[in-house]
A and B are shown apart, each in its own frame.
Chain A
Amino acid sequence: MIEFTGVGHRYGERTVLDGVDLTLPERRVALIGSNGSGKSTLARTVNGLVTPTAGSVRVDGRDPARQGSAVRRRVGFVFSDPDSQIVMPTAVEDVAFSLRRTVRNHAERTRRATEVLTEFGLGDHVEHPAHQLSGGQKQLLALCSVLVLDPDVLVCDEPTTLLDLRNKRAFAQRLAGLRQQVLLATHDLDLLDGFDRVVVLDEGRVVADDEPGPAVAFYRKICAA
Chain B
Amino acid sequence: MTPLGLYEPGTSLLHRAPAGPSLLVLLVFAAGTVAVADPWLLAAACGLVALGFVVARIPWRRVRPLLRTLLLVLVLVGGIQWWLLGPDRALVIALRLVAAIGAASLFTLTTRVDDLVSAVQRALGPLRRFGVDPEAVGLLVGLTIQSVGTLSGIAGQVRAAAKARGAGGSVTAFAVPFMVRTLRHADALGEALVARGWGEGGTDDEGGAADKNGAADESGAVDESGAVDEDDSTDGDESGRSPRRPTGAA
A residues within 8 Å of B by Cβ? Answer: 1, 3, 5, 21-26, 47-49, 58, 60-63, 66-70, 72-74, 76-77, 79, 81, 83-85, 87-90, 93, 96-98, 100-101, 106, 109-110, 127, 129, 131, 145-146, 152, 197, 200, 202, 206-210, 214-215, 217-218, 222
> B68 within 8 Å of A by Cβ?
no
- Interface SS of chain A: mixed
Q: Which of B6, B9, B200 contacts A69 (CB 8 A)?
A: B200
- Residues in A with CB closer than 8 Å to B145 are 89
Q: 21 A-B Cβ contacts within 8 A?
A: A21-B235, A23-B233, A25-B241, A48-B194, A62-B219, A67-B205, A67-B210, A70-B208, A72-B197, A73-B197, A76-B195, A77-B195, A84-B192, A87-B142, A90-B7, A90-B112, A97-B196, A101-B135, A129-B6, A131-B153, A146-B196
Nearest neighbor of B203 in chain A, beta-carbon distance: A69
B92-127 with Cβ < 8 A to chain A: 112-115, 117-118
Residues of chain B lying within 8 A (CB to CB) of residue A79: 188, 191-192, 195
Contact of B195 among A49, A209, A217 (CB under 8 A): A49
Please judge, given known A-B contacts A22-B242, A88-B142, A90-B7, whether A60 and B226 are in contact too, CB under 8 Å: yes
Main secondary structure of the interface of B (DSSP, over half): loop
* In the complex, residue of chain B having the shortest beta-carbon distance to the beta carbon of A85: B192
Nearest-CB distance from B193 to chain A (Å)?
A: 7
User: Are A89 and B219 in touch, CB under 8 angstroms?
Assistant: no
Q: Residue of B at shortest CB range from A73? A: B212
Indicate if B236 sits at the interface (CB-CB under 8 A): yes
B196 to chain A, nearest CB (A): 6
In the complex the two chains form, is B189's CB within 8 Å of A87's CB? Answer: yes
